[in-house]
Amino acid sequence: MSDTISLPGGNARFGSNSGQPMTRRDGVLKVTGAATFAADNHPDGMLYAVTANATISRGRVTSLNVEAAKAHPGVVEVITPANRPPLAITPEAKPYPFAFNIEVLQDDTVRYAGQEIAMVVAETLEAATEGARLLAPTYEAETARVGFDDVDSFDPDAVGVGAPPVAEKGDIDAGLAKAVNRISASYETPAQYHNAMEPHAMVAQWDGDRVTLDTPNQALVMSTGAFGAWFGIPPENVTIRSPFLGGGFGSKAIVFGGQVLTVLAAKMLGRPVKYALRRDQMYGPVGHRGATRQAFRMGMDAEGKLTALEHLTTSTTSTFEDFIEPASNASHDLYASPALSSRHKAARLDIGTPGPMRAPGEASGSAALESAIDEAALAAGLDPLEFRLRNYAETAPMSDKPYSAKALRECYAQGAEKFGWSKRPMQPRQMKDDAGRLVGWGMGTALFPAPMFQAKAKATLRADGSALVETAGADMGQGAWTALHQIAADGLGLDIAQVEFHSGHSGLPDGGIAGGSGHTATAGSALHAAGKDAIAKLTELAVNDEASPLFGAGNIGVTARDGRLHRADDPSRSESYGEILARAGVSELGGEGQGARDPSSAEEYAMFSHGAVFAEVKVDPELCQIRVSRLVGAFAAGRIINPRLAASQLYGGMIWGIGFALLEEAVHDRRSGRIMNANLAEYHVPVNADVPPMDVILVDEDDRYVNALGIKGVGEIGITGTVGAIANAIWHATGVRVRKFPIGIEALLAETSAH
Amino acid sequence: MTDTATRPAEPAIRPIRFVLNGAEREVAGVSPTTTLLDYLRGPERLTGTKEGCAEGDCGACTVLLCEHDGAGGLTRRSVNACIQFLPAMNGRAIETIEHIGRNGPTPLQTAMVENHASQCGFCTPGFVMQLHAGWLTGALTDRQSVKDAIAGNLCRCTGYGPIIEAGLEIADEPVPDTGAEDAALSARLAQLEGEGVFSYASDGHRWFSPTSVDELADTYAAHPDAVLVAGATDIGLWVTKQYRELPLLIDISHVRDLKVIEEAAGRVYFGAAITHREAREVLAGIHPDLGEMLRRFAGTQIRNAGTLGGNIANGSPIGDLPPCLIALGGRIFLRKGDDLRIVALEDFFIEYGKQDRAMGEFVAAIEVPRLADNQRFFAHKISKRFDSDISAVMAAFCLTFEASGEDVIVAEARLAFGGMAGVPKRAKAAEAKLVGRPFDADAAADAMAAMAEDFSPLTDMRASSEYRLKTAQNLLKRFQLELAGEASGRIAGMGPETLDMAPIGGAS
């Protein structure tokens, strides 16, 4: 397929196959600007779409000056609720498992600031932009509700993606009653936005009843079904090309209304249409991490063991859809406690629907939990690491299941050793650097589930002994094209240079969803199995062929390596793949594979990646400017396919932790409800200068139950643990416990002036 | 004095002529406020240059700009294509990501691949162009210089470490000697730029690029309702974010006699079109705090475009430079037609959005006195994020000391702040508390208390009123502690050791 990115055989210089720290195989395309992202496409006759977005957050659009927009030279069409052609299903139909209600100009209601209220399609981007401006909407505005205190909370039916909102074990009150020390503390985390560097974009073009979509997408095949449902065509009539995603972080997993409108506009006008969001339009329609308030009660006995752990979260969601940040669930699987309670409430605000954002639930939950654990350790008079070890869970606390593997003790030990944790004074404000800055050390435990989804793959052995492997996976930057390619080559017993890898196109076997830190495990298992299947068929040919040195080895077995099959009992008797195929007169031999978890393992074990993060901060005593000055993270995440890519994901996650702890926050204007910092100048993502010296330690872990390959995920765990570690280090530096994220100099300055 | 009788005729309208990736272009019929990025990605289909923000915050659109210096030489700088207007490219050369590796990956691109310096890859072309520009201009010397070079590039995969390693790897690579080609390009660009005022128009929108200050004076006098644009780091956003109509623009970035720095009698004169990058070394020579402030002022691409004159003339209450120059006793030279007047910088800012600048009058130069031996200076920028962030408070202090009996007392105090009022402003009440006495803890405390009379700062997204006042006060305390030798460093950027992955020891 010419429109599928195919990666040529490898550059041997960069290494080969699983376990090797290969550099990414799409690296040259990326550093030369040759990697084509969705908005880079420009089919002949293409029109540009620009949306007008609501500037109020609740109410009704009372007028749009469609005439003025249409009169502007170059404007081809203005789509509003008045003329929007019908879709095959309603916007509430949710045609796939992770679907949300979508905003597709179904009525004149404004549900949040930034919601699309009209789409202008024109011959040029400038004309479309001007057309959208000329619409000059007027509104009937109602009071914006954008803060927790603006509304009453409610009890949600589910949190996250279909998880129960309440889980309880033991008696919290009894546990607290018998505790020697107790803490209760409440934390607040703000709304955060993914801000992938690539704004969402789509180029849609129809050919009869078939449509081709260039759009970044974390779940290609699943999305073909969704678009098919909205447009009343079978999924196979929808082609999605997503060779490169300029970052996703969860926001490109779920189809949003603007994409559907783009497909609709292309159909309506019979020409290709491009819709590329501006940066400010990324704050609303394409998801975010919902704000939370989290309240804890913990009790500890005389030894510092937890007698009760209660975690109550209130999460914000939109008025028209539920995505309830499952933050309390972060307390299910980490610290042993005879009494454990996690509950969720939710608050409906006039905001866009939140959605999964790198470590949904765990990031916010861990930020608060690890801070609260630090407070509990202090109350118990214990070093925070010692406290965590005393409360180490040998089985998953809420489910009582054994862990499939858990090398957290090793993470604690190796991280603490590298960091020098043993020299930490217990009391705060004990350390200063040469320049007189307050120095503090803190730690946090990192935890993230190791899920698997469903994926399929194909492997084709070719006459020349090389192979082609295919799966519709997504590389958002994490390096799927490299790690999956490595696994696939190993499945085939070939060097990666002999294996061609196709991905990023919905016409390929379903690679599942690139999310939940499960893509490498899931698509990797499918690719590996496809290779094994092809090798099994090849083995059949060989062992039944009298002319083969492997003839009759069917019961003994053969091993596949370096492009040859070897007798298991006598490796010197071997034959190349090409020779076997040639003699059989077979030009191509295909194998198929699936990736999914063994249901019995899934039932029996609790499966997680673990880690320990240690942070040092420096705080200016007069100005209270905070700098993270070093971070050490030790992570155990099963088998590491590519240590370079894995470490890079972990560094990235930890730096997201810096952003969470110190910088990132969407600020709403309380009157209009609009986000005041909907841009990259004022919504602060970490710049290089915010990043301290960092160490990532990959701790060995052999997990026999997660999947046959022992693969877990590393994409999200880095942010967990880190936020709490930084917050705890700030307390240790200053003696001030700030319970609202991001921790700003302002809160610290107000509190430290007492000192 | 220019009047209608003597004013030269309106210059003839010409197409925009420039060199793109080695080939000449002649463009007409597009709006003067078309951005370079939209032109590259649109008609040219050069989509390697990315749009991440369209306001100069992220660096994904970084391209290399070459211009002739009027003397046969060539200068190079990186800019954000998203906020450069196309007519400003007249007589310049642009190089994009597609061009630099045309003969195979450059050593930088290879180093980027081998260091795993791209992840999702969307920001990558911008980083490559930025580091490429840094390498060509000799700006990459050590680890810190590499970090400074990429301060204006965002990576959301947050893979900064490997990018720095890649940049550092090429720092020692010899820059090819392109002297002959540069001379040829310089001549070619001078020819493309043409003589006199470059005039461009489309759809009733006009653009003028004068090349001398007299031409500028005449052009502005003839079109006093024009908007002056220099580096477009502010005005670019009027278009890309606010969709403002700008029917008449005068570009001062080609005015060569506004691009000079001269010194006489202990005073430095900066032409208004001097960029922040060009000014940094000289200002750092006046005081290291000014160099540090300019390092954190904005990313390299912005400092390469934004001008001293622009930072003053736009009247922003949170511009970082004005408080520094007010503290130093800076003055500005304003020209209108053939008239020139000199205004103390602090008097230029009248109130929010209003400056002492008449219709048709423009900032021509800025005069900055060097510090005398009996003066002490301090400047510090308070922002949340270390780089590329707008200040909550910008403080700049200059104290003049004199002997008085046994004591050394403050003879003159100039305490200037940004972010504390609707304009950059001196804290006169606080200053009064310092004058005539030693600058000790008591004096600082009195002045800090008096600042509450000077300022009732705004509460906004960046900081609350209380926070701003408290920080302003504490900055004076810090200055006092520093002068008394009781405090050394300030909160600084990550040191050059960052991301060395060196073994980390325990507490000292």
What ipTM goes with this model?
A: 0.95
Q: Which residue has the higher pLDDT, A750 or A710?
A: A710
* DSSP track, B118-161: -SS-SSHHHHHHHHHHHHHTT---SHHHHHHHTTT---TT--HH
Please give the DSSP secondary-structure letter assigned to residue B9.
Answer: P
Distance from CA of B410 to the nearest CA of A (A): 23
Q: Please give the structure tokens belonging to residue A435.
A: 């320049």
Q: Verify whether residue A716 is a known catalytic residue.
A: yes
Mean pLDDT of A501-516: 96
Q: Per-residue pLDDT averaged across B318-338, rounded?
A: 95
What radius of gyration do chain A's Cα atoms show? 27
CA separation, residue B55 to residues A62, A687, B126, B237, B392 (Å): 31, 16, 14, 6, 20
Does residue B330 surpass a pLDDT of 50?
A: yes
Q: Which residues of A touch B157 (CB under 8 A)?
A: 197, 247, 477, 648, 652
Distances (CA, A) of A19 to A122, A490, A531, A639, B395: 51, 10, 18, 8, 53
pLDDT exceeds 80 at position A657: yes
- Residue A497, classed as helix, strand or coil, is helix
- The residue from B194, B220, B239 where one domain ends is B194
Interchain CB contact of A130 with B (< 8 Å): yes
Neighbours of B338 (CB within 10 A): 11
A383 and A346 within one domain = yes
Window A:89-128, CB contacts with B under 8 Å? 124-126
Are A747 and B467 in contact by the 8 Å Cβ rule? The answer is: no
Determine the pLDDT at residue A752.
65
Query: Domain ends where: B134, B159, B194?
Result: B194
CB–CB of B501 and A694 under 8 A? Answer: yes
pTM of the model: 0.95
Size of interface A-B (CB pairs under 8 A): 285
pLDDT band (50, 70, 90) for residue A624: confident
A15 interfacial to chain B (CB closer than 8 Å): no
- Domain-terminating residue out of A576, A596, A616: A596
Residue B143 touches chain A, beta carbons under 8 Å: no
Chain B nearest-CA distance from A222, in A, is 22
Rounded percentage of chain A residues whose pLDDT exceeds 90 = 91
On chain B, the residues whose CB falls within 8 A of the CB of A651 are: 158-159, 161
Q: Which two tokens stand for residue B71?
A: 């003397």
Co-location of A755 and A665 in the same domain: yes
| Residues of chain B with C-beta less than 8 angstroms from the C-beta of A644 | 116
Evaluate if residue A5 carries a pLDDT over 60: no
A13, A26, A30, best to mutate vs chain B, most B CBs in 10 Å: A30
Looking at the structure, do residues A405 and A521 belong to the same domain, yes or no?
A: no
Instruction: Give the structural domain span for A339.
Output: 38-397
Give me the CATH number covering residue B411.
3.30.390.50
Beta-carbon separation of A35 and B164 below 8 A? no
**Residue after which a domain boundary falls, among B194, B222, B256:** B194
In this structure, is residue B234 part of a structural domain? no
Helical axes A745-752 vs B465-483, angle rounded to 10°: 70
> pLDDT confidence of B4, banded at 50, 70, 90?
very low
Is pLDDT above 80 for A619? yes
Overall average pLDDT of the A697-725 stretch? 96
Crossing angle of the two packed helices A745-752 and A722-734, in degrees rounded to 10: 30
Strand ranges (E), A483-568: 499-503, 558-561, 564-567
Residue of chain A whose Cα is closest to the Cα of B459: A746
Strand partners, A593: A457
Dihedral pair phi/psi, residue A180, rounded to 5°: -85, -40
In a shared domain, residues A591 and A658? no
Task: List Cα–Cα distances, A609 to A221, A333, A449, A516, A633, in angstroms.
Answer: 27, 11, 6, 12, 13
Q: Do A36 and B47 touch (CB under 8 A)?
A: yes
A20 interface with B at CB cutoff 8 Å? no
| Facing A32 at nearest CB: one of B57, B109, B161 | B109
Q: Which of A360, A379, A397 is the last residue of a domain?
A: A397
- Taking chain B, what is the end-to-end CA distance rounded to the nearest angstrom? 69
> Count of domains in chain A?
3
In chain A, residues with a C-beta closer than 8 Å to the C-beta of B53 are 279, 679-681
**CB burial readout A593-624, b (16+ within 10 A) else e:** bbbbbeeeebeebbbbbbbbbbbbbbbbbbbb
Cα separation, A542 vs A580, in Å, equals 6
Cis ω before A742 (30° cut-off from 0) = yes
Q: Which residues of A touch B484 (CB under 8 A)?
A: none
Contact at CB, B122 and A745, closer than 8 angstroms: no
Out of A27, A198, A431, whose CB is closest to B118? A27
What's the pLDDT tens digit per position in A398-407?
Answer: 999 999 999 9
Clarify whether residues A98 and A221 are in a common domain.
yes
Q: Which of A31, A433, A688 sits opposite B109 (nearest CB)?
A: A31
Shortest Cα distance from A674 to chain B (angstroms)?
13
Cβ of B60 within 8 Å of Cβ of A197? The answer is: yes
Number of structural domains in chain B: 2
The pLDDT value given to residue A693:
93
For testing contact with chain A, the best of B33, B113, B244, B498 (most A CBs within 10 A): B113
pLDDT of B498 above 60: no
- Cα(A505)–Cα(A241) distance, rounded to whole angstroms? 5
Of A355, A377, A397, which residue is a domain's last?
A: A397
Claim to verify: residue A586 and residue A665 sit in the same structural domain: no
What Rg, from alpha-carbon coordinates, does chain B have? 24
**pLDDT tens per residue across span B277-297:** 999 999 999 999 999 999 888
Statement to judge: residues A190 and A338 lie in one domain: yes
A463 touches chain B (CB under 8 A): no
Q: At B67, which CATH number? A: 3.10.20.30
**Residues in B touching A40 (Cβ below 8 Å):** 41, 47
Domain residues for the domain of B67 are 14-194
pLDDT surpasses 50 at A608: yes
Q: Which of A303, A622, A716, A746 is catalytic?
A: A716
Closest partner residue to A652 among B158, B470, B502, by Cβ?
B158
CB contact under 8 A, B120 and A680: no
**B window 81-100, beta carbon within 8 A of A:** 96-98
Residue of B nearest to A134 (CA): B243
Residue B31 inside a domain? The answer is: yes
CB pair distance less than 8 Å for A681 and B55: yes
CATH value at residue A629? 3.30.365.10
pLDDT confidence bin for A10, thresholds 50/70/90: very low
Does residue B439 form part of some domain?
Answer: yes
For the range A381-387, what are the long-range contacts, defined as Cβ-Cβ under 8 Å and sequence gap of 24 or more? A381/A181, A381/A304, A382/A304, A383/A424, A383/A426, A384/A442, A384/A443, A384/A728, A385/A412, A385/A416, A385/A421, A385/A443, A386/A304, A387/A304
Q: Which among A183, A162, A525, A215 is positioned nearest to A329, based on CA atoms?
A: A162
Q: Is A627 on the interface with B (CB under 8 A)?
A: yes
Check CB contact under 8 Å for B491 and A42: no
A84-106 pLDDT tens trace = 999 999 988 888 877 899 999 99
Touching B: A residues 235-254, CB under 8 Å: 244-249
Q: How does pLDDT run across B31-44, given as a tens digit for each residue?
A: 999 999 999 999 99
Q: Per-residue confidence at A8, pLDDT binned at 50, 70, 90?
A: very low
Collapsed DSSP state (helix, strand, coil) of residue A328: helix
Answer whether B4 touches A (CB < 8 Å). no
Name which of A29, A249, A681 is nearest B57 (Cβ-Cβ): A681
Who among B98, B123, B386 is closest to A197 (CB)?
Answer: B123
Could B147 and A688 be called an inter-chain contact, meaning their C-beta atoms sit closer than 8 Å? yes
Residues A637, A568 share a domain: no
Clarify whether residues A108 and A163 are in a common domain.
yes
Residues A253 and A370 in one domain: yes
In chain B, what residues touch A627 (CB-CB under 8 Å)? 386, 491-492, 494
Q: How many alpha carbons lie under 13 Å from residue B75 in its C-beta half-sphere?
A: 15
pLDDT in tens, A452-488: 999 999 999 999 999 999 999 999 999 999 999 999 9
Nearest neighbour of A693 by CB, restricted to B118, B162, B497: B497
| Residues in contact with A314: Cβ distance below 8 Å, sequence separation at least 6, in sequence order | A148, A153, A292, A293, A294, A344, A345, A346, A347
A126 and A26 in a single domain? The answer is no
Residues within 8 A of A (CB atoms), B 52-81 only: 52-55, 57-58, 60
**Distance from C-alpha of B489 to C-alpha of A620, rounded to nearest angstrom:** 10
- Taking an 8 Å cut-off on Cβ atoms, the answer to whether B155 and A431 are in contact is no
Window from A180-184, A504-508, B238-242, B429-433 with minimum mean pLDDT? B238-242
* Smallest CA–CA distance from B150 into chain A, residue: A688
Assess whether A476 and A535 both reside in one domain: yes
Strand partners of residue A630? A616
Cα B131 from Cα B136, distance rounded (Å): 9
Residues of A in contact with B470 (CB under 8 A): 749, 753
pLDDT tens, residue by residue, A307-346:
999 999 999 999 999 999 999 999 999 999 999 999 999 9
Task: Specify the pLDDT at position A2.
Answer: 38
pLDDT number for residue B315: 87
3-class state of residue A263 by DSSP: helix
Pairwise CB contact (< 8 Å): B158 & A439: no
Point out the residue among A33, A623, A686 whose CB comes nearest to the CB of B474. Answer: A623
Q: Which chain B residues in 10-49 lie under 8 Å from chain A, judged by CB atoms? A: 31, 34, 38, 41-42, 45, 47-49
Quick check: A215 and A259 in contact, CB under 8 A?
A: yes
The pLDDT > 90 percentage for chain B reads 82
Tell me how close the Cα of A656 comes to any Cα of chain B, in angstroms: 8
